[in-house]
Amino acid sequence: MKAKLAAAITALDRLVNYFIPPAIAADRDTRNRAHVFLVSHILGPFIGSVVPITIFVLDPAPGYDVAVLATSIIAFWAFPFVLRAGVPYNPLALISIENLIFCILWSCYFYGGVTSPTLAWVLVIPLLAFFYLGSSSKLRLIVEAMFAVNVAIFGVFYFFGFHINNSLPVAAMQGLGLVSTTAAALYVAMMALYYAQVQASHSELEGEMRQHMATATALRAATEEAERAGAAKAAFLAKMSHELRTPLNAVIGYSQILLEDAEIEGDRASVADLAKIHLAGQHLLKLVNEILDLSKIEAGKMELDLEEVDMCALIAEVAEGGRSAAAGNKNEFTCRIAPDLGFSLCDAGRFKNMAGQLLDNAAKFTQNGKVEIIANRVAGEDCDQLVVDIIDTGIGIAPDQITHLFEKFTVADDSSTSKYGGTGLGLALSQKLCKLMGGEISVESTPGNGSRFTIRMPLVAGRRRTDAHAAATLVPDASDHSILAAAEAYHA
């Protein structure tokens, strides 16, 4: 039974929402009043029609008065369609109340006057005025004035002895009174229950909104706390940069000196040990630099050292560094660089870090295979793009791991970590550096068949300008409309 009732209420709400125009739906208070208005006009005529039907059955000679009353009650069904057509809500609500006043006074005029059994419906008028119009004192005064004018007009007709139907016998009048009073009570109860439901829904919605606001406040506080923690971390790492790098540089430097001395003396046992110390120091320094660079980027303190660079020479230098790494795993290495790359504003050091990381990964995860780097210039919407593909025939990456590949401390899988090593910082840093330079790194891979990492970044042309107070300075060419924000900051 409850399920059927809930389904009926849901269907009614769906029907009511159909008649509410978007302009009314946008305002919560007007929408709630329109809901009650529409429910009243959809269900009300069913209850109100009981009165003319009873009069028609009980009156021995029903006349035009019954037809006018029935027509006025049925006319309430037209109001939802008029509202949907775009008629302003408040004037339509006042017209509806006027129609109700007319129906009540018309039935009272023809059936009993001030002693009419339909007089109980007068109590519905202030109730509906409150439901339809809310707390507006101006609109309530209009309703009171409308009622007074209608009473005055019918009073004139009544007291001057115009036609009054007295054909209903006393028993019929009593029956009409019973039906009319029951219908009025049922109508008032229906509207009161629906209004209570609307208010309850409104209160529930307000409670949810308060909960959401409290959650949003907590999230803002958590975000501020996280920002403070991030700023403290960045400040700590920035201050500790010197303390971390200085001892590592000493370890690397002295191990290099000792390694050279051992090689000169032919001490092979010491050479092997010192080489391990030297490599471990370089690896640790690389990790420290990656962590510091990531921290700077996240804190928004990473600055690009822009200069006009011969991109062909830069990529050739990167490729030369990757050749030895590829040869270490007995890989065939190929480099193809288009001759039209030209010069571009670029942070050469950051670019070599980014592209070198991708080449190192390709060589590390490929054995007895092939590693290839291809660089081309591709036309773009705002400026030409540099496209660098780094292709290998190594172990590849599973599709479900690609989406998280550029996140910090993410590696392909546990088995690759134990076999090949890695902390998952290199790709994250490379992606952030590429985005800092206006580009992006994408990847395509098939497990067992290798991977293709693609660097896309703008080629920003530059020209030299001699300043009276400074040496030659690079500035963006006016023909380029998409200049890196970092380049703009550099030239500002």
What CATH number has the domain bearing residue 314? 3.30.565.10
* Cβ-based burial of 276 (10 A; exposed 0-12, middle 13-18, buried ≥19): exposed
Domain membership of residue 432 (yes or no) is yes
pLDDT given for residue 264 in this prediction:
83
- Other beta carbons within 10 Å of 251: 17
Residues spanned by the domain of 161: 2-218
Spell 168-207 as b/e; 16+ CB within 10 A means b.
beeebbebbbebbeebbeebbebbeebbeebeeeeeeeee
**What pLDDT sits at residue 98?**
92
Tokens encoding 51: 């009165």
Residue 224 belongs to a domain: no
Q: Do 241 and 165 lie in a common domain?
A: no
Band of residue 468 on the pLDDT scale cut at 50, 70, 90 = very low
292 and 317 within one domain:
no
Please provide the DSSP assignment of 468-486 as one string.
Answer: TTEEEEEEE-TT-S---HH
Q: Both tokens of residue 127?
A: 């109730």
Tokens 């001759």 identify what position? 339
Question: Cβ neighbours of residue 140 under 8 Å, at least 6 residues apart?
Answer: 129, 130, 133
- Alpha-carbon gap, residue 207 to 199, rounded angstroms: 12
Task: Look at residue 75 and tell me whether its pLDDT is greater than 90.
Answer: yes
Contact 453, 429 (CB under 8 A): no
Same domain, 65 and 136: yes
Name, in order, each residue with C-beta under 8 angstroms of 460's C-beta and a sequence gap of 6 or more: 344, 345, 346, 383, 438, 476, 480, 483, 484, 487
Asked if residue 223 belongs to a domain, the reply is no
Q: Same domain for 385 and 481?
A: yes
Q: Is residue 90 part of a domain?
A: yes
The arithmetic mean of pLDDT across residues 348-373, rounded, is: 89
- H or E segment at 403? none
361 and 272, same domain (yes or no): no
Q: Say which range, 303-307, 342-346, 414-418, 448-452, has the weakest mean pLDDT.
A: 414-418
Q: What is the pLDDT of residues 249-305, one digit of tens each?
A: 888 888 888 888 888 887 777 888 888 888 888 778 777 777 777 777 776 667 778
Shared domain for 65 and 172, answered yes or no, is: yes
Same domain, yes or no: 122 and 102: yes
The answer to whether residue 351 is domain-embedded is: yes
For the segment 1-12, the average pLDDT, to the nearest whole number, is 72
Residues 154 and 128 in one domain: yes
Tell which of 298, 321, 345 closes a domain.
298
CB 394 within 8 A of CB 416: no
Q: Are residues 143 and 28 in the same domain?
A: yes
Work out the pLDDT band at 241, boundaries 50, 70, 90: low
Rg (CA), the chain: 42
Rounded average pLDDT over 321-333: 86
Q: Sort residue 113 into left (φ over 0), alpha (ψ -120 to 50) or beta.
A: left
pLDDT beyond 80 at 381: no
Counting Cα atoms < 13 Å in the Cβ hemisphere of 485 gives: 6
Residues 6+ apart with CB under 8 A from 402: 443, 445
Residue where one domain finishes, among candidates 188, 218, 248: 218
- Pair 209, 102 in one domain: yes
Q: How many domains does the chain have?
A: 3
Between 437 and 288, residue with greater pLDDT: 437
Q: Which residue matches tokens 């050479």?
A: 271
Q: What is the pLDDT of residue 480?
A: 39
Arithmetic mean of pLDDT, 315-342:
88
pTM exceeds cut of 0.85: no
Q: Would you state the torsion angle of the CA atoms of residues 354, 359, 360, 362, taken in this order, to the nearest 10 degrees? A: 130
List the structure tokens of 459: 């080629």
Single out the residue of 407, 437, 112 nearest to residue 304, CA to CA: 437
The tokens describing 68, both together, are 């006018």
Q: Are residues 200 and 60 in the same domain?
A: yes
**Long-range contact pairs involving 108-113 (C-beta distance under 8 Å, separation at least 24):** 108/154, 109/154, 109/157, 109/158, 109/164, 110/65, 110/164, 110/165, 111/55, 111/165, 111/168, 111/173, 111/176, 112/173, 113/158, 113/164
- Do 33 and 126 have their domain in common? yes
pLDDT tens by residue, 386-406: 999 999 998 888 888 887 787
The residue among 168, 192, 218 that closes a domain is 218
Q: How confident is the model at residue 408 (pLDDT cuts 50, 70, 90)?
A: low
Average confidence (pLDDT) over 83-112 = 90
Residue 241 lies in a domain: yes
Q: What is the pLDDT of residues 413-428, one digit of tens each?
A: 544 444 444 556 778 8
